Homo-oligomer: A and B are copies of this chain.
Amino acid sequence: MSHRPRLRDLGITIGRLPTGPLNALVDVPGVRVGHVTLIAGEGPLVIGEGPVRTGVTAILLHSDHGMQRKGAGAAFVLNGFGKCLGLPQLAELGTIETPILLTNTLNVWRVADALVDWMAERNPGVYSFNPIVGECNDSYLNDILGRHVRTEHVRQALERASDTETSEGSIGAGTGMGGFGYKAGVGTSSRVVRSTRGEYTLGALVVTNTGAAGDLRIDGRHLAEGAATTPPPPGSIMMIVGTDAPLDARQLGRLARRAPLGLARAGGIASHGSGDFVIAFSNAPCDSSPAPTFDEGEEAGVISDFFRAAVEAVEEAILNSILRSETMTGRGGHVRRGIPLEAVRALADAPT
């Protein structure tokens, strides 16, 4: 549990749109988030033993993940140098049939396998599941080849999932990550969008493991301190954007393509080794009326506000993912330093 402030606690606001009550992905009605954090050992790397600095994060679209109730979904791959699972079927059918899990690069297959067990228990007689699992590479701090996330951790993350979970920083899948020369991890944010059908919420949850030292921008401004000297991380960022608005797969694909604009504003350039993936989903019920999804006129009228919401929420979630992460020492004594809060506060207090 991070005791560090969030961006808004420092008086810095991103964008124009109002946030939801918790300024988090769980503001989207029905969405729940759960984390399992694994921290154990220190000293030199012994593959299979540790040190362990990793975890798993679960995002549930709705209370019941039976196969009878799916979400609409789409992905955008800014940089495919990553192992994110489940995307071909998502592209084909436009549906998400499992919770979305996040973990480290080399855990993805075990996590997917455990998720299939969990789904199979809830859906007897079904012999096909498409788990969606994303990842970043925490090998700088963690014994990544040890694949320390096991079946029971996946279950715990799913079972702990709550609609008030707003933890950030070195937690869950973000435990061992770093970005922009600092320690980084999980961050989240949300926005409220008004449409002619009423008000909807869009939330973002990111795991940040990307960004070169010195590139970070906080609401457009660089920190006064010199560039951090930590070597750049192996990279990657997972950006999950969810909404209860009735967007269909094509519209969610459009939304997903805007999420990296938020990354850009935080300073990212999507470097070669950074696998940068966006998954966008809607958990709107399929029987919403007058029509399941926004029609052409509604799309033209309101979708730009959802685009704006996605850009803002992703930018703010990334900044939260860094601000909220304490310094961590991991395998072989590798250190990722938490961003110095005084420097951020100085920036917040400076005249603009």
Contacts and interface: CB of A to CB of B under 8 A. Distances in A.
Interface in A34-90: 70, 77-90
Contact of A272 (B116, B268, B295, B303): B303
Nearest to A248: B248
Residue among A85, A144, A263, A272 with most chain B CB within 10 A: A272
Nearest to A261: B264
Interface string A143-180: 01101000000000000000000000000000000000
Lowest 5 CB-CB distances: which A-B pairs, in order? Answer: A220-B220, A80-B92, A261-B264, A264-B264, A80-B88
* Interface range on chain A (Cβ under 8 Å from partner): 35 or more
A330 interface: no
Contact of A113 (B84, B95, B109): B109
A79 B113 contact: no
Interface string A336-352: 00000000000000111
Contact of A83 (B130, B144, B264, B273): B130
B272 A299 contact: yes
23 contacts: A16-B214, A77-B88, A80-B88, A83-B85, A92-B254, A106-B116, A106-B128, A109-B112, A127-B144, A128-B139, A219-B220, A260-B260, A260-B261, A260-B264, A261-B263, A264-B265, A264-B311, A269-B304, A269-B308, A273-B304, A291-B292, A292-B295, A350-B351
Contacts of A32: none
Interface string A209-232: 000001001011110000000000
Interface in A96-140: 105-106, 108-110, 112-113, 116, 120, 127-131, 137, 139
B220 A79 contact: no
Nearest to A142: B127
A243 to B, nearest CB: 16
Given A77-B92, A258-B270, A286-B296, 18 more contacts: A77-B88, A83-B89, A85-B85, A89-B275, A113-B113, A220-B221, A220-B265, A260-B264, A261-B269, A264-B265, A269-B304, A269-B308, A270-B307, A271-B304, A272-B299, A272-B304, A272-B307, A350-B351
Nearest to A147: B113
A127 B105 CA distance: 9
B91 A80 contact: yes
A94 interface: yes
Contacts of A80: 88-93
A249 interface: yes
Contacts of A94: 250
Given A113-B147, A254-B79, A311 B220 contact: no
A128 B105 contact: yes
Contacts of A116: 106, 109
Interface string A269-299: 1111101010000000010000110011001
B277 A88 contact: yes
Given A261-B261, A261-B263, A234 B299 contact: no
A242 interface: no
A257 interface: yes
A271 B309 CA distance: 11
B81 A234 contact: no
Contacts of A265: 220, 264-265
